Amino acid sequence: MKRPQAVPTVQVNNERVIVTEWRFAPGAETGHHSHGYDYVVVPMTNGTLLLETPEGDKHAPLTAGQAYFRKAGVEHNVINASAHEIVFVETEIK
């Protein structure tokens, strides 16, 4: 099944950070990727993400305004498992 693509908008890219707004229509995905930097995600909307990882599928609930941190090296495909648009801001720390 072909999923729509999540839409990234880079807001800041300098020598210290990359800040990207991600917008996911229902069912949209990022595509499989690996994170090269530590990063912080701040959800702008509530919802649920489906994470396809090497260890298997995981569901991750999002709460608007509740930030979380992940270390570099995370590998996954991120999919909006909600019936509405999901938006979050990702800050990668160079």
**pTM summary value:** 0.95
Give the Cα separation of 29 and 49 in Å (integer): 10
3-state secondary structure the chain: CCCCECEEEEEEECCCEEEEEEEECCCCECCCEECCCEEEEEECCCEEEEEEECCEEEEEEECCCCCEEECCCCEEEEEECCCCCEEEEEEEEC
Stretch 19-36: mean pLDDT: 97
- CB 35 within 8 Å of CB 91: no
Q: Is the pLDDT of residue 80 over 90?
A: yes
Domain 7-93 has CATH 1.10.10.10: no
Task: Quick: pLDDT tens for 39-70.
Answer: 999 999 999 999 999 999 999 999 999 999 99
pLDDT of residue 2: 87
Q: Is the pLDDT of residue 94 over 70?
A: yes
Q: Is the pLDDT of residue 28 over 90?
A: yes
pLDDT of residue 1: 67
Residue extents of the structural domains in the chain: 7-93
- CB 65 within 8 Å of CB 43: yes
Give the Cα separation of 16 and 27 in Å (integer): 32
